[in-house]
Amino acid sequence: AQTVTQSQPEMSVQEAETVTLSCTYDTSESDYYLFWYKQPPSRQMILVIRQEAYKQQNATENRFSVNFQKAAKSFSLKISDSQLGDAAMYFCAYQGSARQLTFGSGTQLTVLP
């Protein structure tokens, strides 16, 4: 079974600075998708960014980018120019041949003014 590990339960960043959230996963599959979801206090799960495993190029969405290291099974999220609205719980998720998403335990991000 696939597992997703987020080793940082909590992180903090100063407003306008850059922060990187870590995620590792374990799988024997070669074709899969990886996601980062954001859950603010409203508890709505919001898709932040996605990455296809067959693509070597790292995905980017505005201030959000990933560092995807397939051999190392690592998928970190970088948030540039952090804003107060970025404060939330961030979940890394894996989707392989099974339909469901497997989530990590989450990283609570605090943005300091």
Partner 1 sequence: DAGVIQSPRHEVTEMGQEVTLRCKPISGHDYLFWYRQTMMRGLELLIYFNNNVPIDDSGMPEDRFSAKMPNASFSTLKIQPSEPRDSAVYFCASSLRYRSNYGYTFGSGTRLTVV
Binding site for partner 1 (CB under 8 A): 33, 35, 37, 42-47, 50, 52, 91, 95, 97-106
Cβ at position 31, least distance to partner 1 in Å: 8
- Nearest approach in angstroms of CB 98 to partner 1 is 8
**Closest by CA position to 82, among listed 66, 64, 68:** 64
Residue type for 68, please?
Answer: F
Of the pair 33, 64, the CB lying nearest partner 1 is at 33
Whole-number Å distance between alpha carbons of 111 and 67: 21
Under a CB-based contact definition with an 8 Å cutoff, are residues 31 and 23 in contact? no
CB of 25 to partner 1, least distance (A): 14
